[in-house]
Amino acid sequence: MRTGISDMFGVEFPLFAFSHCRDVVAAVTNAGGFGVLGAAAHSPEQLDRELCWIDRQVRGRPYGVDVLVPARIDRAAADPAERLLDHIPEVHRDFVTHLFAKYGVGKGKPFTLGSVGGHADEVGRRVTHSGATGLVDVALRHPIRLIANALGPPPPAMVAKARAAGVPIAALVGTVEHARRQVAEGADLIVAQGTEAGGHTGEVSTMVLVPQVVDAVAPIPVLAAGGVANGRQMAAAMALGAEGVWCGSVWLTTEEAETPSVVKRKMLAATSLDTVRSRARTGKPARQLVSAWTTEWDEAPESPGPLPMPLQMLLAEGALARIGDAAENGEPGARELANYFVGQVVGQLDQVKPSRQVAYEIIEEFASAVERLRRITGA
């Protein structure tokens, strides 16, 4: 496959695999695609260890790193990480305690903010410029071929550091206006992410968004994201003008995926109607599995409503970590609450396979789809 993206990064297939799991990243890169490690939850030390491992596995083949440097955050995030807990209102703490009791999480043991205090540093890294740029510094010390910012325009410091290292910058967008702004701020590659995608998304579908973004930012290359989990969908994205695809959800049910086993089983049983864009996990609209957690926060009369980022992220990640442990221990109420980010393609994910096999199947089906179009057109 020859596209501008293939030539830009020296890959056999313009298939970009976003994953928090280093094994997925290495497997897809070694299969001829381009793995991208989601690094937002890592400490600088953890990220360095993960990238050293990937370096050894891929042996010079291209891969990238995705960080989260928000352009605008709640002013509470300017506080030190350990002070973030002070900004969470009592009514929101009480609501989580209510959910734990209602669903019998931890055998009725009450929820306390002290039990999530260990997540403060992690959340602080995710939502502060200083935390995120520390990860950028670590990433650029490794032979990465791309660095992506998943939330807002890349800040000037990130652009300057990447330019000095000769590493292209990618940015994820959900509207044409965002795409233009990202290019103006220094992005070298745009990922046009439709509302079908897992995680933070906008409201415009991939089918509509991709050609608009392609036209708006030309000649900057565009990857399509959202609703891409097989070769036919990849072929459709290329027909829309994208030079490759960026996939995340399809790797969540692979053998190597970091997805908790309880959540993986829920994904394998889910349909494409079993996702929702909700602020219940991070404070910003993010597509995830429908669960008792999202339903209670979004619909329960007693819900105080989600907090803004980063406070909801801190509250939710701490609570869901405990819920996840309880779910793995067989607590049925915890299983109802457990969820994770995933796109609408979850309805296609019904088998556990190695990441390398998934990558090859996507490319094989892409070739079949292109051949079908050739037959239709007589080319």
Task: Judge whether residue 225 has pLDDT over 70.
Answer: yes
121 touches 81 (CB < 8 A): yes
Sign for the CA dihedral angle at 15, 16, 21, 26 comes to positive
pLDDT of residue 127: 56
Place 2 in a pLDDT band, splitting at 50, 70 and 90: confident
Most confident of 14-28, 65-79, 152-166: 14-28
pLDDT of residue 213: 98
pLDDT of residue 76: 44
pLDDT of residue 154: 83
* pLDDT tens profile 162-171: 999 999 999 9
359 touches 32 (CB < 8 A): yes
CA 161 to chain CA mean position, Å? 23
- What tokens appear for 243 in the block? 């030079």
Enter the pTM of the model: 0.93
Go through 347-364 and write b for each residue having 16 or more CB atoms within 10 A of its CB, e for each that does not.
ebbeeebebbebbbebbe
- What's the mean per-residue pLDDT of the chain? 91
pLDDT of residue 215: 98
